[in-house]
Chain A
Amino acid sequence: MPPRPNKKRRVADKKAAEEVVSKKLKAAAADALAIDGQALVQFVDPEGKIAGPQLDVPLGTSKDQLGTLLNQLLENSEEMPYSFHLEDTEITSNLAASFGKLSKGQQSTERVLNITYYPLAVFRVRPVTRCTSSLSGHIEAVLCVAFSPDSRQLATGSGDSTVRLWDLNTELPKHTCKGHLNWVLAVAWSPDGSRLTSAGMDKIVLVWCAQSGKNLGALRGHTQPVTCLCWQPLHVTEGDSFPFLATSSKDAAVRIWDTTAGTCVRSLTSHSQPVMQVRWSGERPDIGGVIYSAGRDCVVKVWNPKDGSMLSELKGHGHWVNTLALNTDYVLRSGPFTHEPQKFKDLAEKKEAAKKRYDEAIQLCGGERLLSGSDDFTLFLWRPVVSKTAVCRMTGHQKIVNQVAFSPDGRWFASASFDKSVRLWDGRTGKYVHAFRGHVGDVYQLAWSADSRLLVSVSKDSTAKCWDIGQRKLLEDLPGHADEVYAVDWSLDGSRVATGSKDRLLKIWRH
C-alpha cells in the first residue's frame, strides 16, 4: 500500500479535484445551453400523484434546475434534495441525456413527459474510510454486532459465550456480560435503547440492562438454539407497557416474551422446520403489530401476536428462506431516535416520537413491504397486509441469497449473496438496478447508511467494502481483518461502522 500522503498534500489534492469538478460543471452547463428544444414535463411523486401543472421546459434543463423548480412548485420553505427519474432512467446530468435514452417511440416532444421525483435525505453520511480502532477482548469469533438505537453504545456477541458492551466515545470496552453457556448468535436492542437481549446456542434468551450491563432476567422455554430476536415496535405496544420480544428458534417455534415479567406470553407453532428469521411489523396497531417468520420450511407465515393465530401463509420459495426484511426495519429499530442527538423524559414520550417517525417513514416509502431471500437464489417482494401473492419475484443471483436489506427511506434494497456480488433493486417495484462486484469471497452481510446513499458489505474474503448508491461504484475498500468478517452494522447517526470477524477482533471504521 502506498504511504498516506501528508495532510497538506491531501488538502492540495482535494483543491485540485474540486477545480476539476467545477470546470467539468461549467463545461456541462455550457453543453446544456447548447441543446435546443423544448419538452412538456409533469412532476409526479412515486405514488403517481401529480405535483403542480404541466411545464414547458428546455431540454437542456439540468438536474439542479429541476430541483429548484420542484421546490418552488411544492412551496417548500427550505430547499430539499430530490432525485428524478424520466420513465425508467435516472436523470443524472440533464433532461436531454435521459431523453436520449428513451425508446424510439417514446422520444417525442409532443407527449407530456412524466418525471418521477424521489425525496432524498436532508443530511449526508460521510463514507467510512479508515479503521479507528481494533478492539480485542473476545476470545472467539465475533458473531453479531449491533449499535444501540441512540448510537451511543455497541453490543457484540461472540463464540466465547459472552456479550460485550463497548463505549463509543472512547472506543473502549465497557461491560462484559457473562451468563450464556454457548455461542451467542444474536443480540438486539430494545427500540427505546434501555435493554439489550441476547440469545444463542444454549437456548436461553438473556435480558441485560444497557446502562450497567447487569443481567435482568433469563427467558427459558426454547428446546433448540435460538436464531433470531426481534422487538415489538414501540408505537404498537398496548398502553404504557414495555415492548414484547419475539424469538425464533430451531425447535420450529416463535415465542413472544414479556421481558419485564420474564414470562413467555405466547408460543406460535405451525412451522415444520427450524425458524431462522422473525420480524415484527409496525402495521395493524390494533392487534399490536404483525409478526412475520420464515425458515427452513420455505414459507413465510404472518401471525397475530394478540391471540397467537396465523393470519396467512406466503408461499413461493422453493428452498430455505434465509432472510426477511421490512422497508420499515430501520425506523422500527431506531424507535424514537433520529440522526440528531435527543433526550426523552419517559417511555410515553418516546412512544409518541416513535409513532410520528413511523408515520413519516411509511408515508415516504408508500406502504409496508416485506422482502424474503432464499437458498433457491431468488428474492420475493410481498405486501402481506394487502395480498397473499407476491408483488415480484427477483432472479439474478447465481448462489444463495444470504441477506437482504432495505435502504432507510425504502427507495432501494440490496441483497448479499454467496455468488460474490451485491445487487441493488428498486424498493417499490423490485426492478433490478445494478450489481456491485468486487468481493472475491461470499458476501455475508450488509448495512445501509442512514441517508440511503451508501452501503457497506462484508465478506468471507476478510474485507468490508463501501459502495456508493448514486454513482453505483465502489467507494472504499476496507481491508484489515485477518479472517472472514461475520457481522457488520452502521450506527444510526452515521458516524461509525462496526465489523466483527472470525479473527476475534471488532473493528470500528470512521470517516
Chain B
Amino acid sequence: MPQNEYIKESIKRFGRRFDHEERMRKKKAREPKKIAKTARKLRGIKAKLFTKKRYSEKATMKKTIKAHQEKDAKAKDAEEVKPGAVPAYLLDREQVRRTKVLSNMIKQKRKEKAGKWQVPIPKVKAMTEDEMFKILRSGKRKKKAWKRIVNKVSFVGDNFTRKPPKFERYIRPSALRFKKAHVTHPELKMTFNLEIVSVKKNPQSALYTNLGVITKGTIIEVNVSELGLVTQTGKVIFAKYAQVTNNPDIDGCINSLLLV
C-alpha cells in the first residue's frame, strides 16, 4: 500500500464517522448554494472559465434527463398502432423510406409540352445583363470587348469541348461548374445528393438555358435512378425534374425541390 493513502487505510481500519452519511447528504444539498456564491464572486477570466464549465455540465444534464424521458415514453408507445404497416416477411428488415410512386410519366410529358409547371417558385427576379456576365476584354491592346464570362453557376455536360478562343464567346469558369445538386423529395422530406443530367429551363432567358446556367428558379433534370422510383406500369424512373430554390452562386451549393 502506498504511503500517501493514509485516509483510506484509516477508513479501512476504524470505519467512518457514525454521522458520515448524514453529513454527505447535507453537503450535497448545500452544493448549489456554494456554486452560486462562487459564481457571484468570480470576476474576469476565472468567471469566464467557470461559466463555460457550468454551461457544459448543465447541457449534459439536460440531455440525459431528456433521454430518460424518451425511454419512458417509448415503452408506453409500443402498444399503439404505428403507421406504415408491413407484412410479416418485411418485419425487422431495414427498409429505405419511400412514399407513393410518383405521378406517372404521361402527366409529366403533357406538362412538358404545354411548358407549364406547377413549381414551388413561380416567379423570379429578373437579372440584368451586368449581373449575369462580365465583359472580358481581349486583343493585344485589350480594346475588344466581345467576350463574356458567365458570373453564375453553370452545368456543363460531359461531352463538352471548348471552341477555339476566337469563337468562344461565352466562358463558363470551371470553378463555377457543378455536377451534383441537393434534391429534396417533398413527400419523403428527405434530401439526396444527385447528379444533374441537364438544365431544362432557366426562367431568365433561353440563352441561359442553352448555356446551362443555374440560378434561382431554374428547372434542372436530375438522375433519380438510385431512389428506386417506379411508374405505375412498373418501369424504373431514371430522371426527374427539380427546381432550384437557392442562389447557387452565393451559397456554393445547389439546393432544389423535386417536382412531383
Binding site for B on A (CB under 8 A): 1, 140-141, 143-144, 158-161, 181-183, 185-186, 225, 227-228, 250, 276, 322-323, 402-403, 439-441, 444, 459, 461-463, 477, 479-483, 486-487, 503
* B32 at the binding interface (Cβ < 8 Å): no
A441 to B84 Cα, complex, angstroms = 19
Whether the pair B81, A227 counts as a contact (CB closer than 8 A) is: no
In angstroms, Cα B89 to Cα A481, docked, is 20
Given contact pairs A483-B101, A503-B100, A462 touches B88 in the complex (Cβ within 8 A): no
Task: Give the interface SS of chain B, mostly helix, strand, loop or mixed.
Answer: loop
Nearest to B236 among chain A residues (CB) is A440
Given contacts A441-B228, A461-B230, A479-B234, contact A140 B85 (CB under 8 A): yes
A186 to B235: give the CA distance in the assembly, Å: 30
Expressed in whole angstroms, the Cα–Cα distance for A462 and B81 within the complex equals 25
Which chain B residues (91-137) contact chain A, with CB distance < 8 Å? 91, 100-101
Contact A463/B234 with A141-B85, A487-B87 known, Cβ cut-off 8 Å: yes
Q: Which residues of B contact A158 (CB under 8 A)?
A: 85
- B66-94 residues with Cβ-Cβ distance < 8 A to A are 79, 81, 83-89, 91
**Residues of the B chain whose Cβ atoms lie less than 8 Å from the Cβ of A441:** 228, 230, 234
Band of interface residues on B? 10 to 19
Q: Which of A225, A439, A482, A503 has the most CB of B within 10 A?
A: A482
A-side binding surface: helix, strand, loop or mixed?
loop
- Whether B100 pairs with A439 at a CB distance below 8 angstroms is no
Contact code string B180-197 (vs A, CB < 8 Å = 1, else 0): 000000000000000000
B232 interface residue per 8 A CB criterion: yes
Q: Is the Cβ of A322 less than 8 Å from the Cβ of B85?
A: no
Closest residue of chain B to A500 (Cβ to Cβ) is: B87
When distances are taken between beta carbons in the complex, the residues of chain B under 8 Å from A144 are 87-88
B79 to chain A, nearest CB (A): 8
- Are A161 and B88 in contact, CB atoms less than 8 angstroms apart? no
Q: Is B233 an interface residue (CB 8 A)?
A: yes
**Cα distance A344–B236 in the bound complex, in angstroms:** 50
Chain A residues near B83: list those with CB within 8 A: 140, 159
A residues near B79, Cβ cutoff 8 Å: 181
**A337, B196: Cα distance in complex, Å:** 59
Cβ contact within 8 Å between B234 and A440:
yes
Docked complex Cα distance between A403 and B79 (Å): 29
Query: Which residues of B does A touch, CB under 8 Å?
Result: 79, 81, 83-89, 91, 100-101, 228, 230, 232-236
Residue of B nearest to A184 (CB): B85
* Chain B residue at minimum C-beta to C-beta distance from A183: B85
Tell me the smallest distance from the CB of B111 to a CB of chain A, in Å. Answer: 19
Question: Are A477 and B88 in contact, with the CB atoms below 8 A?
Answer: no
Q: Is the CB of A459 within 8 A of B234?
A: yes
What are the residues of chain A within 8 A of B236 when measuring CB–CB? 440, 461
Q: Given that A161-B81, A482-B100 are known contacts, is A185 also in contact with B232, CB under 8 Å in the complex?
A: no
CA distance A37 to B32 in the complex (A): 107
A143 and B85 contact, Cβ closer than 8 Å, known pairs A227-B91, A482-B101: yes
- A402-B89, A441-B228, A487-B87 given; 7 more Cβ-contact pairs under 8 Å: A140-B83, A143-B86, A185-B91, A444-B89, A462-B230, A479-B232, A486-B87
Q: How far is the CB of A456 from chain B (nearest CB, A)?
A: 14
A181 near B234 with CB under 8 A, answer no
Q: How far is the CA of A1 from the CA of B105 in the complex (A)?
A: 11
Q: Which of the residues A143, A440, A461, A481 comes within 8 Å of B87, measured between beta carbons?
A: A143
- Chain A's closest residue to B81 (CB) is A182
A479 to B91, CA, bound (A): 26
- Bound: A182/B77 CA distance, A: 12
Q: Give Cα distance in the complex from A352 to B65, angstroms.
A: 67
Q: Can you name 21 A-B residue pairings with CB atoms under 8 Å?
A: A1-B233, A141-B86, A144-B87, A159-B83, A161-B81, A181-B79, A186-B88, A225-B91, A228-B88, A276-B88, A402-B89, A403-B89, A439-B234, A440-B235, A461-B234, A462-B101, A463-B233, A463-B234, A482-B100, A482-B101, A487-B87
